[in-house]
Structure 1
């Protein structure tokens, strides 16, 4: 009889796969048009793909362990896979923003700032009527997100988001063996 993998062991390969797929998408978008990396639809496509792949690999793992999985096992599997994937993505972004194209960070920061300004206008706030110091502070905080410390801090906050998403995925992936109920 083959020994079953723990959720941690089982999540390594899917985490690596998802991380490499997201990294490939990031670099493909960068080579096509670097401003795609700052677009909302690219982020939405990445998130949907992320969810689909985690659910796919989670169902594969559930089948591998006998067709049933507790919430805790599903949560652990999902969370570990996302953390591994996130670490690969972080390393890829550090490589992209600090080695391959250091000027990309300022381009994306400017794009994000312009998006913030257009959103403010849509909600009725005229950016021209705002204090220039506040606008400059907003621009600086947007740029800070692309620094090495900003990326590391973002990953730290991302762990909280990963945990919340893993809770949702744990609820989706769990499957109770009804034959054990009596």
Structure 2
């Protein structure tokens, strides 16, 4: 009997992570070219999350098939986590290029739109007038800081924690136990 050689979850996740990152980058640039204000909209963030989830599940199921149709939770978690890290790195590099090389003034424009959206939302809840000008200035500064090179790196650090949590969920979705080994 010939033993099937399997690729480790980390190695198997490299190509899907790269593909997922490139797809997310293409979507980001398409949205930028259509209307940059969509980059800070709630629907864009939600749609990105759905696409992220969908691609990781798709690639995870392909990897599970390569493994013979079954995958432990640990393997699925590792696959999902490495995929998300690679995709996140590519997205971060793309965002840094977009905000600092391609369109250096974009971050300032996005902060303005974000602040307007937030103030509109707070006004809808009746809380807009309760903010002082100092609080609004602090929010603006925090938003501006998020678009800096250091801010992008910090955001990726926070994203790693989020990726770990998402990977737990994705690992639970992707795993499949071989019930024939139950006694």
Whether TM-score is above 0.5 comes out as yes
8 Å contact 2:120–2:128 — kept in the other structure? no
1:179 counterpart residue number: 180
Q: Which moved more, 1:111-120 or 1:94-103?
A: 111-120
- The corresponding residue for 2:26 is 24
In 2: Cα distance, 1:57 partner to 1:29 partner: 24
Match of 2:162 in 1: 161
Provide TM-score, normalisation by structure 2: 0.96
Q: How many residues align?
A: 181
Superposed CA deviations along residues 67-101 of structure 1, whole A, max 9, x for unmatched, are: 00000000000000000000000000000000000
TM-score scaled to structure 1, two decimals? 0.96
Whole-angstrom distance in 2 between the partners of 1:63 and 1:134? 53
CA distance in 2 between counterparts of 1:45 and 1:126 reads: 28
Which residue does 2:144 correspond to in 1?
143
Structure 1 partner of 2:133: 132
Unaligned runs of 5+ in 1: none
Q: Structure 2, unaligned stretches of length 5 or more? A: none
CA RMSD, aligned part only?
1.0
The aligned runs of 1:47-126 (5 Å cut-off) are: 47-126=49-128
Deviation per residue, 1:8-29 (Å, 9 max, x gap): 0100000000000000001111
Once the two structures are TM-superposed, the CA of residue 142 in structure 1 deviates from its matched residue by 1.2
Q: Distance in 2 between matches of 1:126 and 1:43?
A: 23
Distance 1:53 1:161 in 2: 17
Distance 1:20 1:2 in 2: 31
CA apart distance, 1:2: 4.2
Runs of 4+ in 1 over 6 A off after TM superposition: none
Deviations 1:77-136, CA, capped at 9 Å, x for gaps = 000000000000000000000000000001111111111111211222133x43211111
